[in-house]
Chain A
Amino acid sequence: MQAKGFGGASSFRALPFLFGVAALLGLLPLLHSHGLQPNPMLASEPPHLYPPGVHGGKPGVVTSPPPENVQDTPPQYKQPSNQSKPTRKAFPVLGIDYTHVRTPFEISLWILLACLMKLGFHVIPSVSNIVPESCLLIVFTENLGTILIFAVVGTLWNAFFLGGLMYGVCQIKGTGLNEIGLLDNLLFGSIISAVDPVAVLAVFEEIHINELLHILVFGESLLNDAVTVVLYHLFEEFATFPRVTFTDILLGFLSFFVVSLGGVFVGVVYGVIAAFTSRFTSHIRVIEPLFVFLYSYMAYLSAELFHLSGIMALIASGVVMRPYVEANISHKSHTTIKYFLKMWSSISETLIFIFLGVSTVAGDHRWNWTFVISTLLFCLIARVLGVLGLTWFINKFRIVKLTPKDQFIIAYGGLRGAIAFSLGYLLDKSHSMREMFLTAIITVIFFTVFVQGMTIRPLVDLLAVKKKQETKRSINEEIHTQFLDHLLTGIEDICGHYGHHHWKDKLNRFNKKYVKKCLIAGERSKEPQLIAFYHKMEMKQAIELVESGGMGKIPSAVSTVSMQNINPKTLPVDRILPALSKDKEEEIRKILRNNLQKTRQRLRSYNRHTLVADPYEEAWNQMLLRRQKVRQLEQKMNNFLTVPAHRLDSPTISRARIGSDPLAYEPKSDSGNLPIITIDPASPQSPESVDLVNEELKEMKRFPPSPEEEEEEEGLVMRASKEPSSPGTDDVFTPGAGDSPSNQRMLRCLSDPGPRPDPEEGEPFIPKGN
């Protein structure tokens, strides 16, 4: 079993682990009986307790006699009755059979215990949003060179330095280690030198360090997997050779490239297949998460099949499939995947460390002071020297140099974890040094995780290392960054310099032209990045709005800056639309929310295979679209509203102006269904808006958009009709004249947004976007 590939985003504190070990000590007897250790107690059970006939032939089941097992009638009863006559038991209405559920029961208990301890020591971590993760990826790609150098060269250096020094130590007479050869030591060195991604992730997540350092150490821990795999197998094989020739070494070197690039290749293949599959899942949304999980796991397994690097396959498949799958799957699937992965990673992490603890307590150990202490010492020294040397080399090529503080954190953050332990555990049982190696490995792991892991946080504070920026990316930043990218690509072109941006641009263009068309379904394949980003932001804001709507507070992201502030084209006197105060906004929001919730409740039964397009989600999309259009049309209205308060010909003229503006009425080609409020007129529970809508529908039917027609004054109305002939956009604010009736009507609407507006007024319902 290789306990790899369990990257996760959950927090971990070493302290619960301490409690875990204590709990495990208490549970030790059970462990023994479970066969983790061959149990001498097995044979010692009095055989008459379990005569085969009584238990239907379950001789292998061994337990320390559970006290509440009432089915096991005391033996003295059983025996005589068994021998005398066939017993006749009453039908067991209620019984307890602990042995039946024992294994899953105990495992669940352990996991539960560990999770409870985590609860006790943590604040519930806040949900990370999409944006920081993409920032991490960008940082990752920009620093790829550095990360690779640390991962490959650093690990090699660690392994050889440690192995060599340990060999030197083993040669010293009097330590009892003389029989360990060079290859054994090198093997040990390669096992212990790998920085562990799980431990690193757990610790670094806690300390909220700046992204650069985080990704450097974490990236290194992920990418050194290839090196570790190769070295491990290399030395294991070499140990069996009578002598090691130069060609063997060369082949070993070659195999490194095969392993890492092969792993990446396998991952890319699976990633592309996954992206392609996700293109077609628009009708069966339920299985989307399953695809993602399965393809990723298959990538890992396929790589391991060929002795390639499983972790690199996993990473490559994730990186490749992510942009396309994210564009294709539904919001819910995305959430599911995110939370499922977090849950699994949490469980796996717990199990890994429990296993580690159990093996510590219950395993065979061979403690040799010299070996262990020198291992520990040399690990630290090797790490520090490696980081210092490599940074000196890397800084020649970096724009943003790594400061000594950074170097310290990188060195200090090189934690060993379960990978080292698993590799040691997998050693051939006949290997003479196995127990000693395991002991040393466990000691190093404990030391790095406990001591280094726990003290890194105060050290970070002490050294005042730059922390992670908590601010979200604003849309301004997005625009500017893209602008800068374009600019730099252009400049690089002028200079003839094939730099960073040039290749990035080429990749993007290739991506846009060919790849996106294949792998992304439908319309979204043509969406440029800025639009996608804007879309996401709007979605987030809309969700925030709803979630805070009930509490009546406006989210801080929304300021009172509105279109009027930045684009005032009207004289302030003539503005017909007063700005809504906070109360009004809240009322409107509440009404909106209530209606949307009601439609959601009406979702009828669905079978597992066809999930009806969620009206809630659709309603949100429509609300977003509406908000967008409201904004646009507001400004158009401001453009056209040059009407002072009392001019009489305004209705037709202004309608004519609006009517002639092609942009306002261009029916959107991509919205198949014209945006409407999904309010069911048949629903009896929402009289307020239902009546409004009904009224409006009736009114709309009498209102064709032809400018010449003399229409009665309608004031500000809202369209909710689906007529194709009518202007395609809803929420057209047909401006009335600034007449008192319409003004009054409007003001009345705004001043009385209560639950029972007068039906015959047909009061307009104005959801004002911010």
Chain B
Amino acid sequence: MGSFHSRSEEVQELADKTGFTSDQIEHLHRRFKQLSGDQPTIWNLRQAPGGLADEINFEDFLTIMSYFRPIEMDMDEEQLDRFRKEKLKFLFHMYDSDHDGKITLQEYRKVVEELLSGNPHLEKESARSIADGAMMEAASICVGQMEPDQVYEGITFEDFLKIWQGIDIETKMHVRFLNMETIPHCH
């Protein structure tokens, strides 16, 4: 979908699907073209195996970006709640790399290690113990007191929601899409 032939229709379609306005879609499309070098898709820039897809097209790009839309004034309670859940679901998927619906200890450890990977002096020990501590805390929040032989499989989405209760994700997880500059900014 590199060039918009029946532009307005496609734009309208995308707008309905993702909730962006057509201005924003135009902006993003320009940005997409920059990043992809006018190709129809963006390649997996990471060059590491394990990503789910090697390339994404503009529609996927838009879908992902739609998770970062700021909240609007005219949303009611139910819409806000749904919005919030969507964003959290997105985050949850980022943690849960094998997509089995649970964040296991291994996955959590990996996340923390990656977070701290910017620092070469860090020992893996610290990352692990932090992840373990966090997992234990999550278990105690979600399940409370546990018997010694009970096993906590992993953080499910409901538990995840519980942990995030204190944090206002709607206000944090957003990007202002209209103030973008199309600056060549690829690593």
Contact = CB atoms under 8 A, between A and B. Distances in A.
A133 interface: no
B25 interface: no
B167 A534 contact: no
Nearest to A729: B125
B50 interface: no
A400 interface: yes
A566 to B, nearest CB: 5
Given A475-B134, A494-B35, A531-B116, A567 B146 contact: no
A565 B136 contact: yes
Interface string A580-620: 00000000000000000000000000000000000000000
A18 to B, nearest CB: 40
Interface in A469-518: 469, 471, 474-477, 479-484, 486-488, 491-499
- Main secondary structure, interface of B, reads helix
B139 A567 contact: no
A324 to B, nearest CB: 18
B130 A531 contact: yes
Interface string B70-83: 11010000000000
Contact of B145 (A559, A564, A567): A559
A755 interface: no
Given A496-B181, A572-B149, A534 B133 contact: yes
Contact of A531 (B126, B169, B179, B185): B126
A617 B122 CA distance: 24
Interface residues of A, number: 51
A399 B71 contact: yes
Given A476-B138, A565-B139, A530 B152 contact: no
Interface residues of B, number: 66
Interface stretch (A92-100, A124-132, A334-342, A627-635): A627-635
Interface string B114-127: 01101101111110
Nearest to B139: A561
A479 B112 contact: yes
Q: Give the one of A493, A494, A560, A631 with max B CB within 10 A.
A: A494
A429 B9 CA distance: 77
Interface in B19-37: 28, 31, 34-35
A474 B134 CA distance: 8
B150 A567 contact: no
A471 B182 CA distance: 42
Contact of B166 (A400, A471, A487): A471
B119 A567 contact: no
A720 B164 CA distance: 42
Contacts of A495: 28, 31, 65, 175, 177, 180
A628 B130 CA distance: 10
Interface string B169-187: 1011111110111110100
A497 B132 contact: no
A219 B170 CA distance: 25
Contacts of A494: 31, 35
A547 to B, nearest CB: 20
A579 interface: yes
13 contacts: A480-B91, A487-B173, A493-B185, A494-B35, A496-B181, A497-B177, A526-B119, A559-B136, A559-B144, A564-B148, A566-B136, A663-B124, A666-B123
Given A491-B68, A559-B139, A631-B129, 11 more contacts: A400-B168, A476-B134, A494-B31, A496-B182, A534-B133, A559-B136, A559-B140, A561-B145, A566-B136, A628-B125, A666-B123
* Shortest beta-carbon contacts, A-B, top 4: A559-B140, A579-B148, A561-B140, A497-B180
Interface of B: 28, 31, 34-35, 65, 68, 70-71, 73, 91, 94, 105, 111-112, 115-116, 118-119, 121-126, 128-130, 132-141, 143-152, 163-164, 166-169, 171-177, 179-183, 185
Interface of A: 399-401, 469, 471, 474-477, 479-484, 486-488, 491-499, 526, 528, 530-531, 534, 559-568, 572, 578-579, 628, 631-632, 635, 663, 666
